[in-house]
Amino acid sequence: MRLSRYFLPTLKENPSEAQIVSHRLMLRAGMVRQSSAGIYSWLPMGHKVLMNIQRVVEEEQAAMGCQQMLMPTIQLADLWRESGRYDAYGPEMLRIQDRHGRDMLYGPTNEEQITEIFRDAAKSYKELPKMLYHIQWKFRDEVRPRFGVMRGREFLMKDAYSFDIDDAAGRVSYNKFFVNYLRIYDRLGLKAIPMKADTGPIGGDMSHEFLILADTGESEIACHRDYISMDWVGTDVDYDSDLQPMVDTFTSKYAATDEMRDPEQEAALGDDLITARGIEVGHIFHFGTNYSEPLGAKVTTAEGGEATVSMGSYGVGVSRLVGAVIEASHDDDGIIWPESIAPFKVGLINLKTGDEACDAACDGIYNDLQTAGVEVLMDDREIRAGGKFADMDLIGLPWQIIAGPRGLKDGMVELKNRATGEREDLSIESALSRMTA
Ligand code: ATP
Ligand code: MG
């Protein structure tokens, strides 16, 4: 992409409405614009990152055998009356009526919807287990939408649902998601710590929230120091193997969010205790028959009886993650994207747009990178070099190739690593082979 043609409305000044760094940087880097409180438009570069995160989630969900589908944003109130949640949900739910006066709502989540679909389709235990997910916009009329996309009213969530014959089988599905989530966050360059969450009336230990540590996080958390240095899951997970030992490793140490903290355990930890703030980037929950019971989702059993299916739901905050990654990865100059989700891998800076030789050399590098399948954003705007450097650092592409008349005379460019700030002078060929390796 040529920056002269790209829609990237960057801002030099810090927008006064933004209280935290990720929000400031997303506005300054031209990624999003607020439409109304907690509702955002995603501009081309923000949208690219959002879709890259979505792709990582999709790849990992596929790897664990969870199937993608798409449910609507608008749901019937009557369905939520069946589960009893229509009245219970409160003012966070956006309630609407269609022209026939029928009560509808903008989905804040999809347990009822998926349970209805499953109930009407599944008949026998032989069809279990099943894992299904979609990535869809949700609406929750949050009391305090803030921090940009981190706590929006409209936000993109991946929500998955598991269906099993009983709670023991449900635990197997739960463990798959548990490990899968560690994989997802790892690929996004994040260390998300699983913390025991409140399971409400059904009890048990099958609910975890995944939090990344950040000063701007909304939750006050406490955990064992070991989580900071713990080795994360490898790239190869055999989802058909027994994952309980792996889950046990990650849950063996103390880690709790505000409402789950235990002063006694914390006192016992002494110097091993860390208290910090955290951002919730995912939540998994096994809730048994909470929805399948009222909605009547049953299957026949091997013995010829009937069983109400045991379910779980598993959410990842896809749009919140864009902000969370920035909170975890930035410096004074701007964003530092991990390569896995960077909007472009390389930013090519033409230091002297309008200079014939310089333009020709940059076009050559640009074309070679494109041909090799490397995503590149070339700054070919007719502005001062200082402005180009500042914008390129601000938008945080992992690599910068800086090309000016002086170096190009000898066929040389500068390669800069955005994360480390390291710069080296290289021949065009070496720079290209480094970027395409
Ligand atoms: P929170 O405690 O932050 O309000 P929640 O517990 O209500 O979140 P879940 O229903 O567990 O959220 O939703 C799954 C994931 O969706 C959360 O872990 C979070 O990452 C994301 N999420 C929830 N609410 C919002 C929001 N208002 N804006 C952006 N992302 C959100
Ligand atoms: Mg939650």
The string of pLDDT tens digits covering residues 250-285 is: 999 999 998 899 999 999 999 999 999 999 999 999
CA 145 distance to own-chain centroid: 18
Best of 147, 219, 257, 320 to mutate for ligand 1, by most ligand atoms within 8 A of CB?
Answer: 320
Best of 140, 193, 280, 285 to mutate for ligand 1, by most ligand atoms within 8 A of CB?
Answer: 280
Best of 94, 149, 157 to mutate for ligand 1, by most ligand atoms within 8 A of CB?
Answer: 157
Atom of ligand 1 nearest to the CA of 157: 16
Atom of ligand 1 nearest to the CA of 145: 27
For ligand 1, atom 31, name the residue with the nearest CA.
317
For 151, other C-beta atoms within 10 Å of its C-beta total 19
Cα(199) to ligand 2 centroid in Å equals 11
First to last CA, the chain: 20
Cα(317) to ligand 1 centroid in Å equals 6
Rounded mean pLDDT of 182-197? 95
Cα(33) to ligand 2 centroid in Å equals 26
Atom of ligand 1 nearest to the CA of 140: 27
- Is the pLDDT at 304 greater than 80? The verdict is yes
Give the pLDDT score at 369.
98
- Is the pLDDT at 314 greater than 80? The verdict is yes
- Is the pLDDT at 102 greater than 80? The verdict is yes
- Is the pLDDT at 200 greater than 80? The verdict is no
| Model pTM score | 0.97
Give the pLDDT score at 387.
97
419 Ramachandran zone, left/alpha/beta (phi>0; psi -120 to 50): alpha
The dihedral built from the CA positions of residue 75, 80, 82 and 87, taken in this order, carries a sign that is negative
Burial tier of 359 (Cβ tally within 10 Å: 0-12, 13-18, 19+):
middle
Please list, in sequence order, all residues whose beta carbon lies within 8 angstroms of the beta carbon of residue 429, skipping any fewer than 6 positions away. Answer: 411
How sure is the predictor about 235, in pLDDT bands with cuts at 50, 70 and 90? confident
Cα(409) to ligand 2 centroid in Å equals 57
pLDDT tens string 377-434: 999 999 999 999 999 999 999 999 999 999 999 999 999 999 999 999 999 999 999 9
For ligand 1, atom 2, name the residue with the nearest CA.
280
For ligand 1, atom 26, name the residue with the nearest CA.
151
For ligand 1, atom 16, name the residue with the nearest CA.
317
Give the pLDDT score at 95.
98
Task: Name all residues whose Cβ lies below 6 A of ligand 1.
Answer: 109, 140, 142, 151-152, 155, 157, 280-283, 315, 317, 319-320
Atom of ligand 1 nearest to the CA of 109: 10
How sure is the predictor about 205, in pLDDT bands with cuts at 50, 70 and 90? confident
Atom of ligand 1 nearest to the CA of 218: 3
For residue 159, give the ligand nearest its CA: 1
How sure is the predictor about 233, in pLDDT bands with cuts at 50, 70 and 90? confident
Atom of ligand 1 nearest to the CA of 150: 29
DSSP β-ladder status, 399-403 and 412-417:
antiparallel
Give the pLDDT score at 91.
96
Please give the Cα distance from 54 to 59 (Å, whole number): 9
Atom of ligand 1 nearest to the CA of 316: 15
Cα(316) to ligand 1 centroid in Å equals 8
Rounded mean pLDDT of 160-181? 98
How sure is the predictor about 12, in pLDDT bands with cuts at 50, 70 and 90? very high
Percent of the chain past pLDDT 90, that is, above it, reads 94
How sure is the predictor about 175, in pLDDT bands with cuts at 50, 70 and 90? very high
